[in-house]
Amino acid sequence: MGRSLARQLIESHLVTGKAVAGEEIGITVDQVLLTDTNGIMSWLQFEAMGLTRAMPGRVVSYADHQVYQVDSRNSDDHRYMQAVSRKYGAVFSKPGNGICHQVHMESFSVPGQTLLGSDSHTPLCGAAGMLAIGAGGLDVAVALGGGPYFFTMPKVVHVRLTGALQPWVTAKDVILELLRRLTVNGGTGKIFEYGGPGLRSLQAAQRMTIANMGAELGLTTSIFPSDEITRSFLTRLGRGDDWRPAAPDDDATYDDQIELDLSTLTPLVALPGSPDRVVPVEEVAGTQVEQVMVGSCTNGSWYDMASVTDVIRGRRVHPSVSFVLFPGSHKILETMAREGLLTDLLAAGATVSESTCGSCAGIGHVPAAGVKSLRAFNRNFPGRSGVKDDEVYLCSSLVAAASALTGVITDPRTLGAQAATALLPRFATSTVGFVESDGQGEIPRGPNIKPVPLGEPVPETLEAPVVIKLGDKISTDDISPAGSAVLVFRSNIPAISEFTFKYVDGEFATRARAAGRSVIVAGELYGQGSSREAAATGPMYLGVRAVIVKSFARIHRSNLINWGIVPLVFDDPASLGPIERDDRLRLPGLRAALAAGERVTVVNERTGARFTASCVLTARERDILLAGGLLAHTRGGRS
């Protein structure tokens, strides 16, 4: 029986378990990617575990989210990140050098290797034939020390592409179409492996967009074969020697298959609130927008920047529109300057910002209250832009460029013939933004860097109030908001915990502290979106000991276990309905039930109602959870 590419890579890195869908497996990690949001905490956890050397063959720390230095806190954290990388064996990517996923793809991707990243969009490097997975900070810290990465073996789905994209239709429309069909939880427990005759028509940058935004489907990862298009991409970056072929067997079998004819796609837009609220562009054409942006790790490639320039060259941005571009890397920005793109963009009235994540995480360029924003980004969860009650539409770079010219959401097909965006024979190859490790130096710690707290062992019986009741699709942005005011405390758990649910329920932190121990209840897909570990550490620090929901997002469930919070799923989803905030729930024999792998009984002391909830754990997860989390488990000598 032939093997998929995903299965080949998993089996070649397998150290424990069997590669059977639904079984826990552990794989070796060849490369690690850390960001300045979750990665600084990973380094603090690495030190707290007493580890002394980063063991994977390639480790890179990126300062790409929090680069605006309005006071010393971001600078202090970046100084720490650079020093700890230098001492323990990692490359440091300086602020302005670019967005981690784009830069890693350009500078360090190697087909056939595994990559673990402290950011949910790490799967972008699957475009180069890597097995690239996003994870929580503690899982990344363990991988830094040479430990395996554990996860549930996903089903592998073959996405068979046929045809070719029509003019004005982009790779962003491919992933938006999949979101339209499948929704944000349609990829849960799955890997999408792309293939078929339509694959040959997609450039590397287009594959990057699709692989990157697979995170919005809830996928474990996405993967493309490494072929001649991959080799061309690496060669034009001066890295042709790093290329190697990687492809599924000719008779590969899959758990499922999706057919997608690229020639049938049209420009699409996601409505505010969720990336899966997708409609054809003509349904929202004419909607006034005052802010248009292109960038993020999804649409910051050279191809995006060049295609936008082709649209607006010789024209002018509409007077009512602020049009901002975020090139994905220093290499791209340097190449844009060399090729004259910056002149064309500036002459048209566009603003070219630093090569950072920027406003994708609500840091900078926050829209005015009540203003509609159109973005070639990846997420539009409520409030993610940095302002409450925002209205953010998601689209392709071409829809964004056309709309920037008119001041309203515009179908780019109305502009006439599309100019061809040519591939460059060579990109800039500068490495000025990287700082190599030499194993030396002291590690400075600014006043905002606080010790990493430990979780508590699971009690025999938990009796606690429901501190908040929530609905479906609660994102990690809802739990621990994005934006500069919050993320500046990424290395300070006591401080960042004060922002937990701040824009959902401003009294949450006060109420949770007063309760001592507490429980959260919610609906489907709790913890979707970013891998933001603060969405687990904040509640843990405030006393949350269990979360009972209808279903969890993959990374957030792992983060809860890693921090000693019991992740329970209602056996009967209807049990959520009668529960009210402040109800006191009693979970008798909780610890014994978890240890035995049995259902947990829950009693609502207000109503007397009883229901059950399940917490399906592997033996490894059970030991970690009962100890109070991964760090407590490791410190206790039980790892």
Structural domains of the chain, with CATH: 5-264 (3.30.499.10), 269-415 (3.30.499.10), 462-635 (3.20.19.10)
Indicate the pLDDT class of residue 637, thresholds 50, 70 and 90. low
Mean pLDDT of the chain: 95
Please name which of 357, 349, 348 lies closest in space to residue 375, comparing C-alpha atoms.
Answer: 357
Kindly report, residue by residue over 478-535, the tens digit of the pLDDT.
999 988 888 889 899 999 999 999 999 999 999 999 999 999 999 999 999 988 999 9
What are the φ and ψ backbone dihedral angles of 299, each rounded to 5 degrees?
-135, 40
Indicate the pLDDT class of residue 343, thresholds 50, 70 and 90. very high
Mean pLDDT, range 222-247, rounded to an integer: 97
Cα separation, 297 vs 360, in Å, equals 9
pLDDT at res. 639: 42
Cα separation, 364 vs 66, in Å, equals 10
pLDDT at res. 358: 80
pLDDT at res. 636: 65
CB-CB contact of 311 with 398 (8 Å) = yes
Share of the chain above pLDDT 70, in %: 99
Share of the chain above pLDDT 90, in %: 88
Indicate the pLDDT class of residue 428, thresholds 50, 70 and 90. confident
pTM of structure: 0.94
3-state helix, strand, coil in the chain (%, to 5): 35, 20, 45
Indicate the pLDDT class of residue 67, thresholds 50, 70 and 90. confident
Mean pLDDT, range 175-182, rounded to an integer: 98
pLDDT at res. 69: 77
CB-CB contact of 557 with 618 (8 Å) = no
Cα separation, 52 vs 259, in Å, equals 48
Cα separation, 368 vs 84, in Å, equals 38
Does residue 638 carry a pLDDT above 50? Answer: no
